[in-house]
Amino acid sequence: MKKYHFPEGFLWGGATAANQIEGGFHEGNKGLNIADVLPGGKERLTILQSPGFDFQIDREKYDYPNHEAIDFYHRYKEDIALFAEMGFKVFRMSIAWTRIFPNGDELEPNEEGLAFYDRVFDELHKHGIEPVVTISHYEMPLNLVKEYGGWRNREVITFFERYVTAIFNRYKNKVKYWMTFNEINSGFIMPIQGLGFAIQQEEDKYKPTFQAFHHQFVASSIAVKACHDIIPGAQIGCMILYAPVYSYDSNPKNVMYALQEERMFNYFCADVQVRGEYPAFIQRYFKEHNIELNIQDGDLESIKEGTVDYIGLSYYMTRTEKKEKSDLEASEGNLIGGIKNPFLQASDWGWEIDPEGLRIGLNQLYDRYQIPLFVVENGLGAYDKVEKDGSIHDDYRIDYLRNHIKAIGEANEDGAEVIGYTSWGCIDLVSASSGEFSKRYGFIYVDKHDDGSGTLERKRKESFFWYKGVIETNGENL
């Protein structure tokens, strides 16, 4: 088998988000956030993609798996020790905004929340693991959603600035790698998680969406500048959900359509955050949809000055597009739609598996931006079975990860500068789109089930030992 030579210092590790692992949703003065009001089970995706969600907790009807999650809040020491056993160089996690500012609009941060992340960062450093921190990962304070209308309200920029200033000052000696908004472009498909508001049926979906993006771009640029000022030498990236778009065939109409979808979904946000300006193609789109953004004095200058140092990306699937697709089978379950690609298999949740697409995507991104790329999410959500002797043989996951890591190796040889890989859900966690525990991604199994039962005991899966070997050999032993 071909050996890959990853660069010295390649950032191997795993990725999570606060709301999907921590639990302790009321502890340490934490306030409620969006994830706390999202029910578990397959209904969650419908809620996320439909208009009119009311952001209320209804315990009669639903369970709320993020409330306890996998209890990382109390078990972080045990979990970090397991990451260290695999040899993680980095651990991607997020800070829950509501632990630091429970309602989002306070003037002073919550000391208990700040102290919690101090303990987590110290524990990581004790094991020689560098934290990679997402500032906002689908965890907007609920108060900002309900009282301010989420990111469509410009005032939220001020609250975000207060939040980032507090965490940069507090953790300036502990965190070198940062990212602003998780999968910022997911606001197009799941505005509740990404932008903090539900599109109302009667309202024009375009204007509020782009206005909210504009506020996030300004907020991101402020965060980048503050990070560089407060923590010299720190690296701060954007984070996009990257699902390269293929044209269904060589019909130029379909090729053009695929290009338009590619630019809008995959590149629009990155263009602004990396290049510091709105791309030319969006002007035509705004004109045709009568969108006039409210851009205030200084916004565009701020965006220009606050460009990111690297691109963080999640990669799970590609998407195949055709202009008129009514006669073709839709790609079942592919989160971002498109039509079924006959060359690809799909996961149990219908996400099409395409390692070659990762190589293609990394090349495309590097050709376009020429700044370092960091694959901060990739993995296989699958049902795992615990054998009688307690072992878990997840060879399907090993195959998936091996093929994707090879694709990164190829992309590096092609000339793309990929600085790291953090596999998603390195420990089993609550699924973001389905709220299930049974959609497992981890190297570490957590005994927790969709009905809320389980001891929360951790177990090493077969992939745990495999990944340890990958890191030990810097990607040579795949």
- Which residues are tagged catalytic? 183, 377
Residue type for position 366 = Y
Q: Which two tokens stand for residue 241?
A: 């959900």
Alpha-carbon dihedral 436, 187, 105, 217, rounded to 10 degrees: 140
Q: CB-wise, 109 or 442, nearer to ligand BG6?
A: 442
- For the bound state, the minimum distance from the C-beta of residue 384 to ligand BG6, rounded and expressed in Å, comes to 14
Tell me if 431 contacts ligand BG6 by CB under 6 A. yes
Residues 121 and 15: their CA atoms lie apart, in Å, by 15
The count of other CB atoms within 10 Å of the CB of residue 193 is 22
- For the bound state, the minimum distance from the C-beta of residue 369 to ligand BG6, rounded and expressed in Å, comes to 20
Cα-to-chain-centroid distance, residue 389 = 35
Alpha-carbon dihedral 99, 102, 107, 109, rounded to 10 degrees: -20
Cα-to-chain-centroid distance, residue 1 = 32
- For the bound state, the minimum distance from the C-beta of residue 379 to ligand BG6, rounded and expressed in Å, comes to 7
- For the bound state, the minimum distance from the C-beta of residue 429 to ligand BG6, rounded and expressed in Å, comes to 7
Ordered alpha helix ranges (H), 332-442: 355-369, 395-414
Per this entry, what is the length of the chain?
478
According to CB under 6 A, which one of 434, 444, 463, 470 is a site residue for ligand BG6? 434
Q: CB-wise, 15 or 408, nearer to ligand BG6?
A: 15
Residues 168 and 436: their CA atoms lie apart, in Å, by 33
- For the bound state, the minimum distance from the C-beta of residue 111 to ligand BG6, rounded and expressed in Å, comes to 28
- For the bound state, the minimum distance from the C-beta of residue 314 to ligand BG6, rounded and expressed in Å, comes to 5
Closest by Cα among 335, 410, 262, 467 to 45? 335
Among positions 346-385, residues that touch ligand BG6 (CB under 6 A) are 377, 381
Residue 154 near residue 213, CB atoms below 8 Å: no
Q: What one-character-per-residue DSSP string does 128-171 give?
A: T-EEEEEEESS--BHHHHHHH-GGGSTHHHHHHHHHHHHHHHHT
- For the bound state, the minimum distance from the C-beta of residue 147 to ligand BG6, rounded and expressed in Å, comes to 25
The residue count for binding ligand BG6 (CB under 6 A) is 14
According to CB under 6 A, which one of 139, 183, 261, 299 is a site residue for ligand BG6? 183
Non-local CB neighbours of 59 within 8 Å, separated by 6+ positions: none
Residues 223 and 175: their CA atoms lie apart, in Å, by 14
Residue type for position 7 = P
Alpha-carbon dihedral 121, 123, 129, 133, rounded to 10 degrees: -20
Closest by Cα among 389, 388, 400 to 443? 400
Q: CB-wise, 17 or 218, nearer to ligand BG6?
A: 17
Q: CB-wise, 45 or 224, nearer to ligand BG6?
A: 45
Among positions 380-409, residues that touch ligand BG6 (CB under 6 A) are 381
Residue 372 near residue 310, CB atoms below 8 Å: yes
Segment interacting with ligand BG6 (CB under 6 A) among 104-112, 385-393, 429-437, 459-467: 429-437
Segment interacting with ligand BG6 (CB under 6 A) among 27-35, 95-103, 413-421, 424-432: 424-432
Parallel/antiparallel/unpaired status of strands 310-314 and 458-460: unpaired
Non-local CB neighbours of 125 within 8 Å, separated by 6+ positions: 174
Tell me if 123 contacts ligand BG6 by CB under 6 A. no
Segment interacting with ligand BG6 (CB under 6 A) among 61-69, 242-250, 408-416, 425-433: 425-433
Q: CB-wise, 98 or 433, nearer to ligand BG6?
A: 433
Instruction: Mark residues 11-50: x for contact with ligand BG6 by CB under 6 A, - for none.
Output: ------x--x------------------------------
Residue 340 near residue 354, CB atoms below 8 Å: no
Q: CB-wise, 153 or 347, nearer to ligand BG6?
A: 347
Segment interacting with ligand BG6 (CB under 6 A) among 77-85, 168-176, 226-234, 428-436: 428-436
Segment interacting with ligand BG6 (CB under 6 A) among 204-212, 217-225, 431-439, 453-461: 431-439
- For the bound state, the minimum distance from the C-beta of residue 291 to ligand BG6, rounded and expressed in Å, comes to 26
Instruction: Mark residues 303-322: x for contact with ligand BG6 by CB under 6 A, - for none.
Output: -----------x--------
Q: CB-wise, 254 or 431, nearer to ligand BG6?
A: 431
Residues 297 and 286: their CA atoms lie apart, in Å, by 20
Tell me if 182 contacts ligand BG6 by CB under 6 A. yes
Q: Is the alpha carbon torsion for 335, 337, 339, 341 positive or negative?
A: negative
Applying CB under 6 A, the residues found at the interface with ligand BG6 are 17, 20, 182-183, 241, 314, 377, 381, 424, 431-434, 439
